[in-house]
Protein backbone atom coordinates (compact mmCIF):
# COMPACT_ATOMS: atom_id res chain seq x y z
CA UNK A 1 0.00 0.00 0.00
CA UNK A 2 3.01 2.27 0.43
CA UNK A 3 3.49 2.22 -3.34
CA UNK A 4 -0.14 3.27 -3.77
CA UNK A 5 0.49 6.40 -1.71
CA UNK A 6 3.82 7.11 -3.39
CA UNK A 7 2.34 6.91 -6.89
CA UNK A 8 -0.96 8.58 -5.88
CA UNK A 9 -3.03 5.52 -6.80
CA UNK A 10 -6.65 5.93 -5.70
CA UNK A 11 -8.50 2.82 -4.53
CA UNK A 12 -12.27 2.50 -4.33
CA UNK A 13 -13.77 -0.62 -2.76
CA UNK A 14 -17.32 -1.94 -2.60
CA UNK A 15 -18.32 -0.04 -5.75
CA UNK A 16 -20.20 -1.00 -8.90
CA UNK A 17 -19.03 0.65 -12.10
CA UNK A 18 -22.00 2.17 -13.94
CA UNK A 19 -20.09 3.71 -16.85
CA UNK A 20 -16.57 3.82 -18.25
CA UNK A 21 -15.57 7.22 -19.61
CA UNK A 22 -12.46 8.39 -21.45
CA UNK A 23 -10.57 9.45 -18.33
CA UNK A 24 -12.13 7.30 -15.58
CA UNK A 25 -15.39 5.80 -14.37
CA UNK A 26 -18.77 6.62 -12.91
CA UNK A 27 -19.73 4.29 -10.07
CA UNK A 28 -22.22 3.62 -7.28
CA UNK A 29 -21.39 2.65 -3.71
CA UNK A 30 -23.29 0.07 -1.67
CA UNK A 31 -25.45 2.82 -0.13
CA UNK A 32 -26.64 3.75 -3.65
CA UNK A 33 -24.77 7.05 -3.87
CA UNK A 34 -23.41 7.88 -7.33
CA UNK A 35 -19.83 9.10 -7.80
CA UNK A 36 -17.35 9.98 -10.53
CA UNK A 37 -13.62 9.28 -10.69
CA UNK A 38 -12.09 11.22 -13.57
CA UNK A 39 -8.63 12.42 -14.54
CA UNK A 40 -6.98 9.00 -14.79
CA UNK A 41 -5.03 7.44 -17.63
CA UNK A 42 -5.74 3.89 -16.40
CA UNK A 43 -8.51 2.11 -14.54
CA UNK A 44 -7.98 -1.29 -12.94
CA UNK A 45 -11.11 -3.30 -12.32
CA UNK A 46 -10.74 -6.20 -9.88
CA UNK A 47 -13.69 -8.40 -9.01
CA UNK A 48 -14.14 -11.09 -6.44
CA UNK A 49 -16.53 -13.99 -6.24
CA UNK A 50 -18.53 -15.34 -3.36
CA UNK A 51 -20.18 -18.64 -2.74
CA UNK A 52 -23.94 -18.76 -3.26
CA UNK A 53 -26.01 -21.41 -1.49
CA UNK A 54 -29.57 -20.28 -0.78
CA UNK A 55 -31.17 -23.75 -0.78
CA UNK A 56 -29.06 -26.48 0.80
CA UNK A 57 -30.25 -26.05 4.39
CA UNK A 58 -33.91 -26.28 3.33
CA UNK A 59 -33.21 -29.26 1.07
CA UNK A 60 -31.29 -31.05 3.85
CA UNK A 61 -34.43 -30.91 6.01
CA UNK A 62 -36.25 -32.93 3.34
CA UNK A 63 -33.44 -35.05 1.89
CA UNK A 64 -30.81 -36.05 4.44
CA UNK A 65 -28.24 -37.21 1.85
CA UNK A 66 -27.72 -33.80 0.26
CA UNK A 67 -24.30 -32.81 -1.06
CA UNK A 68 -23.21 -29.24 -1.65
CA UNK A 69 -20.54 -28.80 -4.32
CA UNK A 70 -19.01 -26.20 -6.62
CA UNK A 71 -19.59 -22.50 -6.14
CA UNK A 72 -22.18 -23.20 -3.46
CA UNK A 73 -19.25 -24.24 -1.25
CA UNK A 74 -16.68 -21.70 -2.38
CA UNK A 75 -16.26 -19.68 -5.57
CA UNK A 76 -13.53 -21.41 -7.59
CA UNK A 77 -12.84 -22.87 -11.02
CA UNK A 78 -15.32 -25.15 -12.80
CA UNK A 79 -12.80 -27.99 -12.59
CA UNK A 80 -13.15 -27.98 -8.80
CA UNK A 81 -16.91 -28.45 -9.08
CA UNK A 82 -16.45 -31.24 -11.63
CA UNK A 83 -14.06 -33.11 -9.33
CA UNK A 84 -16.42 -32.64 -6.39
CA UNK A 85 -19.33 -33.94 -8.47
CA UNK A 86 -17.32 -37.02 -9.44
CA UNK A 87 -16.32 -37.64 -5.82
CA UNK A 88 -19.94 -37.44 -4.69
CA UNK A 89 -21.16 -39.66 -7.53
CA UNK A 90 -18.56 -42.31 -6.69
CA UNK A 91 -19.48 -42.22 -3.01
CA UNK A 92 -23.19 -42.91 -3.60
Residue 45 lies in a domain: no
Residue 12 CB-density burial (10 A; 0-12 exposed, 13-18 middle, 19+ buried): exposed
Model pLDDT, residue 1: 63
29 domain residue, yes or no: yes
CB neighbour burial string for 24-60, b if at least 16 within 10 angstroms, e if fewer: bbebeeeeeeeeebeeeeeeeeeeeeeeeeeeeeeee
Assess if residue 11 is contained within a domain. yes
Does any domain span residue 43? no
State pTM to two decimals.
0.49
Residue 32: its H or E element: none
Count how many domains the chain has.
Answer: 2
| Residue range of the domain that includes 61 | 56-91
User: Considering the domain boundaries, does residue 49 fall inside one?
Assistant: no
44 occurs within a structural domain: no
pLDDT per residue as tens digits for the range 65-89: 999 999 899 988 889 999 999 999 9
**pLDDT number for residue 11:** 84
Q: Are 82 and 89 in contact (CB under 8 A)?
A: no
Mark the ranges of the chain whose per-residue pLDDT is less than 70: 1
Amino acid sequence: MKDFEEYKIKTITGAKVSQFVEDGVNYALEDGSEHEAHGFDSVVLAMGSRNYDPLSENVKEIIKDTYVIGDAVKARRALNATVEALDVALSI
